[in-house]
Chains A and B, each alone.
Chain A
Amino acid sequence: AQSVTQLDSHVSVSEGTPVLLRCNYSSSYSPSLFWYVQHPNKGLQLLLKYTSAATLVKGINGFEAEFKKSETSFHLTKPSAHMSDAAEYFCVVSDPRDDKIIFGKGTRLHILP
């Protein structure tokens, strides 16, 4: 069975410093992995996705994530945080063999001035 664990429910960083949001997954097959961002009272926007091509995936707004099979991780990073990055971030795993899409519980990113 698939599962996804976001290791931090809240992360606070200062503006201009690096961001690291952690995600671990469990899957018996090569999964597809995604990160979504949700601003208050909005829907979820796709940031980036991994689908078994390059292990380092670049997304929108300067975010990127690295797929590490040996660590079963797909952590989201950004070199320099901006105030507009304050939002909820969801890690998602999908098994290409079926239609199951599993969401993590989310990480709330706070940006300190």
Chain B
Amino acid sequence: SYVLTQPPSVSVAPGKTARITCGGDNIGSKSVHWYQQKPGQAPVLVIYYDSDRPSGIPERFSGSNSGNTATLTISRVEAGDEADYYCQVWYTSSDPLYVFGTGTKVTVL
């Protein structure tokens, strides 16, 4: 199976930049989607196909993907960005499936 590894937590001061990594074997060859989940709420799509941003998502959210690491970057972090973030890929094998990362809790100091 395919494993996506994220750091359990990232802490960042308001106004600074948060970088959340998603590690997987040759993940750069796959398309990565990112979701934000606040407590008690459903996930919200924030980045799709590595770096595209859905309408309504601030430009402060950006993504990149290369080699064995995909990265979600949140610039000029605000208190409202505090949430869990999950990466996701479509793993194609004899039995294809979506795989989610382990999740990262972003804390705004």
Co-assembled chains A and B: no
Residues of A within 8 A of B (CB): none
